Structure formats: C-alpha cells, structure tokens
Structure 1
Amino acid sequence: MATAEQIKALIKSYIEDDDARFCAVAMQVAAHAARQGHGRLADELRSLVDEAKTRSGTKRRKTPVPIATPRGELSELLVASYPQIRLADMVLTDPLRQRLIRILKEYRQQHKLRSHGLSPRRKLLLTGPPGSGKTMTASALSGELKLPLFVIQLDGLITKFMGETAAKLRLIFDAMDQTTGVYLFDEFDAIGSERAMANDVGEVRRILTSYLQLLDQDTSNSLIVAATNHGDFLDRALFRRFDDVIGFSLPTQDLARELFKSRLSLFNTEQVGWTQVLEAAEGLSHADLTRACEDAAKESILSGTTEIPSERLIAALNERRAIMQ
C-alpha cells in the first residue's frame, strides 16, 4: 500500500492542481503495490493513471492560454512568463509565509480596502542573500494570482545616453498600467544602491530619481517587486516608497530539513542520518539545498533505486558548497 509520504504527496499535488506530479506519485504507489504482490491493484492503478493523463491532455488542448508578449521596444526590456509555482511549493518560515499570504489576501480583496479609502500592498522590496527565495517568491505571487510575471532586463534598461534610461523606465511603468501583472526588478541594487551612486553620480542618480518618481506616481493594479541581495547598500529614500519590505535569510536547520523532506518526498529517506546532512547543509541557501536534492535524486534514479543514502545527499551538498566558494 501507499506510504505515508506518498499519501501526503498525492494530497499536496491534488490541492496544487499539479497533474504531472499527481500521476508520478500514483505510478510510485502502483510500483509499490506490484512489489508487494498486489498485481491486480497495480494494473488498475496504472490504467487509471493512463486515463487521467489522456483526459488531462485533452483538457489542456481545449483551454486557451493567454499570452501577454511584450512588443516593440518593450520586448528588449521585459521577459514574460506564466509561473505555475504556488506558495505551498515553497519552504518558508511561518512569519514570512503569513506576510506573503497577507499580500495575496489584500490584493484579492482590494475592492473592500478601496471602499474604505485604503490600498493593498502592491509595491514590495525583497532583500536577502542570493538563493534565499526572492525571485521564487515573485514567481509564486504571480502563480497564486494567475497574473503574468514580467522580469525587467536591467542590461537593456541602463544605457550610457542621458535621459534614455528614464524614457525606458517610463515605458515599463506605462506597461504596468496597460497590462496587469507582477513586474520584477531583480538585482535592484544595480540602480538603487548608494554605492552605485558613489561610483557614478550622473546617470545612475538620475535613474534612481526617475524610478522613485514613477513608483510614487504609479496607480496601476500591478504588483511591483524589487529584489536585492544587498539591502544594506540601498538608498534609504527607497524604503519608505515601498508598501512592504520583506527580508529573506538562509534556512535554519528546521527549515532545511523541511525542504529536504518536501523535495525528496517521492524517494525513500528513512535511512538518512539527518544530523550529518543538516551539518553539511549549514550556511547554504535554499537554492543550493534544492539543487543538491535534485542532484542526489538524479543519481538515485540513474542507479535504479528510490533510496537516498546519507552519503549521496552529503556529497551533493559538499559539491554545491565547493561551487559557491
């Protein structure tokens, strides 16, 4: 019969409407049933999964997918996508999760707030070390609200010509008003840091001034998300312009263990020595831990097993640490 982890994975994938993951877990249950001698049950499960895949494919073909593709000069400034990720896919501290849920709740029920002269949190500043989940959070907000995610390409935005960057910024903010979405300014410290302005008191300062003016003037229905790895370097004037400033950090041991359990839910981790694994994970980011899980999972799959030994996971973590040094 299905293991406890498989049952949890089935329920989670159903809640998140993740058909591919649901079918993958169901096939794991079928394989487990076959190994225990329940051949008829295994065959029935496989048949049901095949039927579900067929129906799911037909449903997807009948459902048109809205496409919001930047055109003209905007095509050099914005990259559009439709993330499927949800907050439930992320391993977060409870306080951080509650703050993100509050943002979603305010956005979804903004009509109630506006009827009382209040506005939802729309302008967000995310700070924290690389790989701590800032970009993934923007994707999750996009997925939860079923809005397109537009990532601003800073290399196309910043030019050497006076005034040209400000004009491009205006194009982006005009797009926010015309096409509702989640607009992500990643690596925002490139234009918002005091250090950048110290190195170039000309164009960078003008860019920041233009950004602050446009941010203040924005009355669109879009979410504006700025993410930075160097919150300490940002100009202090920026912080009061945002509706919310959210800090991210490296995972604690409890959070790291939860992440491992989530990412490896389809594998047998009963023999994992968590004390040694968590020691090896110390100081690594969420992204590093996720990649290590994927590397260990790939090796197990190619070795023909569903078991994740401690040494395999620790080796993957050490490899990630070596890459980051």
Structure 2
Amino acid sequence: MATAEQVIALVRSYTRQDEGRFLQVAAQVAEEAEARGQNRVAAEIRGLLDDAAAQSGVIRKSADPIPLARPRGELAGIMSVAMPDRRLGQMVLSDDLSKRLDRIVKEQRERTRLRERGLEPRRKFLMTGPPGTGKTLSAGAIAAELGLPLFTVLLDGLITKYMGETAAKLRLVFDAMTERRGVYFFDEVDALAGSRGADNEVGEARRILISFLQFLDEDKSASLIFAATNHPEILDRAFFRRFDASILFGLPAAELVQPLVEETLVGFKLENLDWYAIRGAAHGLSQADIVRASDDAARVAVLEHDGHLTTAQLIESLRENATQAR
C-alpha cells in the first residue's frame, strides 16, 4: 500500500490543484503495488488514472521531482533523483537508435502481455559512446516516457568518496531498486575497470566491479538499469554479458546537424543559413557540442547583432567548440 510519504504527496498535490503531480504519485503507487505482486490493486489504480486522463484531456506536468522519490540517509550521498519531462519524441536521434529506445519503452508498457507468453521485458542496458552523445538524456527520456523517477549514481565519485566501503554503499542502491521502481543510471562505469588512479584505488575498483556484477546478476526488481561508459574498450567481455543489450551512441550523422541546430535555436530566423557549410563545420562534434555551439552563437547574435544570426557566427562557434573538444 501507499507509504506515508506518498499519502502526504497526494494530499499536498490535491490541495495545490497540481493534477500532474497527483497522477505521477498515484502512478508510482500502482507500480510499487505491482512490484509487490498486488496486481489487482495496481490494475484498479491504473484504471482510475486512465479515467482521470480521459476526463481532463491534457494532463498538466509538474516541474518539480516527487518528494517521495528523494534518496534518504546514506542513499542521499550516493545518488541524485529527478523526474525528467523531456521525452524521446523531443530528442534528435538516428532512426536506428530511436527504434531501439522506443522498443525498450514498449516492452515495459506491455510487460504483462510478454509475461503471459513466458517472456520478460529487458531491464538492464549498457550505453556506450563518446561524451555528449545523449546517453544521460536518453535514460531520462525513457524515465519520462514511463513516468518513473531517474536515479543517477556517479560511480567515479562514489569510489573516491567512500574508499573501502563502496561495495556496501552499492548494495544500498540495488536494495532501493526493489523498494522504489525507477530508472537507475550508473554513469562512468569504466571507473570500475581500475585503469587509473593510485594503486589502492585500482584495487578498490576491482573489488567493486566484482560486487557490481554480482548485484547486477542477482537483481530481480522491476526497475530499469542503465550503465554508461565513454570507454567500452577497457571493460572486459564479462561485463558486457551481464546486460540484456548494449546500445551504441555515436556522433551525429550529417543529416542530424540541422535538426539539432533548429531545435536549439527556436525563435531565430534560420531559413537563410548555409546548411552545407554548417554540416561541414559540425563534422566530428557530439550532439552536446553542437547544442553548446548553437547556444553560443545565439548569445553573440542577441548581444552583438540585434538578434540576427548568420552562418558565419554559427560556424565560428562550431569551430571554437571543436577546438575545445580535442
């Protein structure tokens, strides 16, 4: 049943007439009920939520994370939480990557149908690729699609901050997965490879790697687990085998440059830009680099050119970011 924090969150959102927040909390109650095997309760709550959505039309979204999802005690120093609202349809993705991420969401939404045929939805994913290619944003978008909180664990900082007790702290994270269904994002898992730092840090990282893989194998929760690395080459094959799938996030193809810029520069007149030249200047840059360069060019346009954005300004910003990225 609902926890005290959930009841408080429901009452608070009701008194504030925050419909979106109320429905988010109620949906989380349903998810947790299902995870405990209370399928009838979960189905009844979801039925009521569907009725409410049909009656209200567009559901207002809350910008704030649900308080009940905030890690407490020792967990507060290990991971952060957010309720992302940017969905997959709002991201600029390659067709192949978009299909793969959509399939993850569909498997979770249709997990009852899969189980009726003796199948389980995939829950454990390894994200690989250069920095700034959308790994973190994609994990957040999947959380938004499923109405789940996004819990982020930064392993690199965890190892150095809790030297000698990291495995025990990591156990708390995996315990939380059973108690609170969500999307759990482990960033920089290459830190577990122990290829950098002092000798004692290397040994600690290897011990944590063994614990992490053991916890991953043993996890039977309803939560989704995403682990991200910029350096898959330093991870051994045993690491890859622990995941249901590995997803590659590459640098954007030339045809994605224009949509990335257009999405970032909403409100600017872009019809006269030389997209061929811009695509050339963006070659080799990550999605994050292109977005950052577009923002830089926009600031220059507003402050120095009365809001008029030119191809030359954008190319200059792209080249500056290319220099910084090297």
| TM-score, length-scaled by structure 2 | 0.75
Aligned equivalents of 2:246 and 2:108: distance in 1? 16
Number of the residue aligned with 1:147: 148
Number of the residue aligned with 1:102: 103
Number of the residue aligned with 2:325: 324
Structure 2 unmatched ranges of 5 or more:
1-19, 21-59
Contact 1:269 1:307 in 2 (8 A): no
Contact 2:178 2:222 in 1 (8 A): yes
Q: Does 1:66 align with 2:63?
A: no
Q: CA deviation at 1:197?
A: 11
Aligned equivalents of 1:99 and 1:141: distance in 2? 11
Q: CA deviation at 1:160?
A: 8.4
Q: CA deviation at 1:195?
A: 3.6
Number of the residue aligned with 2:268: 267
Comparing 70-79 with 269-278, greater Cα deviation is found at 269-278
Q: CA deviation at 1:184?
A: 0.8
Secondary structure, aligned partner of 1:185 = strand
| CA deviation vs aligned residue, 1:260-292 (integer Å, no higher than 9, x gap) | 222224221111111211111111110000111
Q: CA deviation at 1:151?
A: 0.8
Q: Kindly tell me: are residues 113 and 86 of structure 1, through their superposed partners in 2, closer, same or farther at Cα, counting changes over 3 Å?
A: same
Structure 2 counterpart of 1:66, which letter?
I
Aligned equivalents of 1:196 and 1:219: distance in 2? 32
Aligned equivalents of 2:227 and 2:65: distance in 1? 27
Aligned equivalents of 1:117 and 1:163: distance in 2? 41
Secondary structure, aligned partner of 1:251 = coil
Secondary structure, aligned partner of 2:271 = coil
Secondary structure, aligned partner of 2:117 = coil
Secondary structure, aligned partner of 1:132 = coil
Structure 1 unmatched ranges of 5 or more:
1-16, 18-58
Number of the residue aligned with 1:243: 244
Number of the residue aligned with 2:172: 171
Larger Rg: 1
Number of the residue aligned with 2:302: 301
Aligned equivalents of 2:128 and 2:61: distance in 1? 37
Q: Kindly tell me: are residues 300 and 65 of structure 1, through their superposed partners in 2, closer, same or farther at Cα, counting changes over 3 Å?
A: same
Q: Kindly tell me: are residues 211 and 300 of structure 1, through their superposed partners in 2, closer, same or farther at Cα, counting changes over 3 Å?
A: same
Secondary structure, aligned partner of 1:232 = helix
Contact 2:194 2:205 in 1 (8 A): no
Contact 1:157 1:165 in 2 (8 A): yes
Aligned equivalents of 2:285 and 2:138: distance in 1? 18
Structure 1 counterpart of 2:79, which letter?
L
Aligned residues: 266
Paired residues for 1:227-238 under 5 Å: 227-238=228-239
Secondary structure, aligned partner of 1:271 = coil
Q: Kindly tell me: are residues 198 and 94 of structure 1, through their superposed partners in 2, closer, same or farther at Cα, counting changes over 3 Å?
A: farther
Secondary structure, aligned partner of 1:98 = helix
Give aligned-pair identity as a percent.
Answer: 50
| CA deviation vs aligned residue, 1:168-220 (integer Å, no higher than 9, x gap) | 111000011111111111111001x3746996663222211111111111111
Aligned equivalents of 1:183 and 1:276: distance in 2? 40
Q: Does 1:122 align with 2:95?
A: no
Secondary structure, aligned partner of 2:261 = helix
Aligned equivalents of 1:117 and 1:198: distance in 2? 48
Aligned equivalents of 1:60 and 1:205: distance in 2? 42
Q: CA deviation at 1:302?
A: 3.4
Q: CA deviation at 1:236?
A: 0.8
Aligned equivalents of 1:296 and 1:181: distance in 2? 37
Aligned equivalents of 1:155 and 1:207: distance in 2? 11
Comparing 91-100 with 153-162, greater Cα deviation is found at 153-162
Number of the residue aligned with 1:287: 288
Contact 1:183 1:222 in 2 (8 A): yes
Aligned equivalents of 2:181 and 2:320: distance in 1? 41
Q: CA deviation at 1:259?
A: 1.4
